[in-house]
Amino acid sequence: MSGVRVLVGTKKGAFILTSGGKREKWEINGPHFAGWEIYHMKGSPADPNRLYASQTSGWFGQLIQRSNDGGKTWEPVDNRFVYDGVPGTHQWYDGTPHPWEFKRVWHLEPSLDDPDTVYAGVEDAAMFRTKDGGKSWTELSGLRKHGSGPHWQPGAGGMCLHSIIIDPKNPERIFIAISAAGAFRTDDGGKSWKPINKGLYSKYIPDPTAEVGHCVHHVAMHPSRPGVLFMQKHWDVMRSDNAGDSWQKISGNLPTDFGFVIDVHAHEPETIYVVPIKSDSEHFPLDGKLRVYRSRKGGNEWEELSKGLPERNCYVNVLRDAMAVDRLDNCGVYFGTTGGQVYASADAGDTWTAITRDLPGVLSLEVQTLS
Amino acid sequence: MIRVELPAHLRTLARVRKEVQLEIEGTVTLRSVLDALEARYPMLRGTIRDHVTRERRPFLRFFACELDLSHESPDALLPEAVAKGEEPLLIVGAIAGG
């Protein structure tokens, strides 16, 4: 029997939400790691019971937890994230040089075919990899050292590497994004990288079309079309049809094109979802009304989805890694809010219900479709 | 026998209830106690001291015998009462955040 497991990272622990294929009744398990910030949890596509979690704290630093039984039990694995060589400096908010310092892991991306191989996107921005299930981590330093690193600068949330997308047809090709440096691509498994930001326009940097410096909030891809990428930038929703070599704006009729999340329907590669946020200075929905917007045409033409979502007095945010889809038919769409609500749609966004309303603020959300 | 009291989150992580008791060979210093603590509970590595610099994490303090030892040299001898196991070394999380 099919089912769904939703992995929710919050400001005060991890929660695992499970349901059968109808997605009507939910069981909520947690908090795991109570009191800790769980920046991200994700399961291995090759072994759904193998989960990894990024557990962090201002007091105690970074931990990585691993589960071999779908989140029932966990064990801490290696938490040494040491930059390769002398890390040097990047730009601080005011443009002055600032030492590169490890702060936390924002995103864990398991390999598509090996449960022991996982990529970690960290703050200050760098990518690490384990090949032994988390027993040791090694930096893929070609990214940080490719040349533009000293010019990278943090976004308001820190200089985080938050998006990691592995090309399912070519595992040597990986896309990543950094706030606020931009998007990058490797075609040789992480040895060398190049910025892929042509077409992005950002008014908040001295050269709005610079090669790096763009505050990319999230990037999404449909696995059947790895050359097509969708991006929610600080402002602007963007699309690339050539693996990031160039981007076009697809904000179209969105009421505001500021936001954090973006995702793609599991079975319709041209159907994409965003949650518009009022502005960079007011991180909540327009008019206090929480709405998802869906385009069935790969952008530009968007429809409002609000059935079941709060119609008034809603001033939450949806953070960059807090939306995901399941692979059931009809496709399920899920997102978590900074107010602790987790909303789900079992009909591709047409209607929404709250699975739970009172969790700590949601930092991340991932979905596993179980067979 | 050296007694060490951990903050609640680290007790949970190490799966211990209250005090940790450690045997220390040689001099009893912050460094030797933390080395012994991390050897017995490897999951605590990096949570009290930075992996690379080996310095105390900024939001943690070391207290014992009503003294703040946070800024003492890691190689300074701990108070005799700690060395004799009469008093615990307290590892305390700063009061900050919500």
User: Nearest CB to B46: which of A34, A59, A79?
Assistant: A79
Which domain does A65 fall in, by range? 43-316
Mean pLDDT confidence for A151-160: 92
pLDDT at A146: 85
The answer to whether A77 and A143 are in contact (CB under 8 A) is no
Task: Mark yes or no for CB contact B57/A76 under 8 Å.
Answer: no
The answer to whether A355 and A294 are in contact (CB under 8 A) is no
Three-state DSSP class for residue A184: strand
Whether the predicted pLDDT of B95 surpasses 90: no
Which domain does B20 fall in, by range? 2-93
Which tens digits make up the pLDDT trace of A119-134? 999 999 999 999 999 9
Is residue B26 in some structural domain?
A: yes
This prediction has a pTM of: 0.96
Q: What is the CATH number of the domain that holds B65?
A: 3.10.20.30
Is residue A244 in some structural domain?
A: yes
Which tens digits make up the pLDDT trace of B7-57? 999 999 999 988 999 999 899 999 999 999 999 999 999 999 999 899 999
Cα(A13)–Cα(A10) distance, integer angstroms? 5
Q: What is the CATH number of the domain that holds A247?
A: 2.130.10.10
Three-state DSSP class for residue B83: helix
The answer to whether A226 and A175 are in contact (CB under 8 A) is no
Tokens 């160039």 found at: A246
Long-range contacts of A234-239 (CB under 8 A, 24+ apart): A234/A155, A234/A180, A234/A202, A234/A204, A234/A258, A234/A280, A235/A202, A235/A203, A235/A280, A236/A200, A236/A201, A237/A262, A237/A274, A237/A299, A238/A199, A238/A200, A239/A298, A239/A299
pLDDT at B22: 97
Least confident of A102-106, B8-12, B91-95: B91-95
Is residue B54 in some structural domain?
A: yes
ipTM above 0.85, yes or no: yes
Backbone dihedral angles phi then psi of residue A207, each to the nearest 5 degrees: -110, 105
Number of A/B CB contacts below 8 angstroms equals 45
**Percent of chain A surpassing pLDDT 90:** 96
pLDDT at B18: 85
Is residue B98 in some structural domain?
A: no
- Look up residue A90 and give its two tokens: 């990047």
Whether the predicted pLDDT of A333 surpasses 70: yes
Tokens 């690379």 found at: B52
pLDDT at A296: 98
Q: Count up the domains in chain A and report the number.
A: 1
Task: Mark yes or no for CB contact A59/B46 under 8 Å.
Answer: no
Whether the predicted pLDDT of A294 surpasses 60: yes
Is residue A333 in some structural domain?
A: no
Whether the predicted pLDDT of B97 surpasses 60: no
- Look up residue A58 and give its two tokens: 């201002």
The answer to whether A62 and A79 are in contact (CB under 8 A) is yes
**Percent of chain A surpassing pLDDT 70:** 100
Residues of B in contact with A77 (CB under 8 A): none
Is residue A361 in some structural domain?
A: no
Work out the number of other CB atoms within 10 angstroms of the CB of residue B80: 11
Whether the predicted pLDDT of B94 surpasses 90: no
Is residue A327 in some structural domain?
A: no
pLDDT at A1: 60
Q: Is the dihedral of CA A114, A117, A122, A125 positive or negative?
A: negative
Which tens digits make up the pLDDT trace of B52-78? 899 999 999 999 999 999 999 999 999
Is residue A302 in some structural domain?
A: yes
Is residue A352 in some structural domain?
A: no
Task: Mark residue B35 as left, alpha or beta (left: phi above 0; alpha: psi -120 to 50; beta: remaining).
Answer: alpha
Whether the predicted pLDDT of B98 surpasses 60: no
pLDDT at A218: 98
How far does chain A reach from its first CA to its final CA, in angstroms? 6
Three-state DSSP class for residue B12: helix
Residues of B in contact with A60 (CB under 8 A): 7, 9-10, 13, 47-48, 57, 60, 93
Write out residues 50-109 of A within 8 Å (CB-CB) of B: 57-63, 76, 79-80, 82
Q: Which runs of E-coded beta strand occur in A116-207?
A: 118-123, 126-130, 138-139, 160-166, 174-179, 182-186, 194-195
pLDDT at A371: 86
Is residue A24 in some structural domain?
A: no
Mean pLDDT confidence for A103-122: 98
Cα(A188)–Cα(A160) distance, integer angstroms? 22
pLDDT at A70: 97
Q: Count up the domains in chain B and report the number.
A: 1
Whether the predicted pLDDT of A156 surpasses 90: no
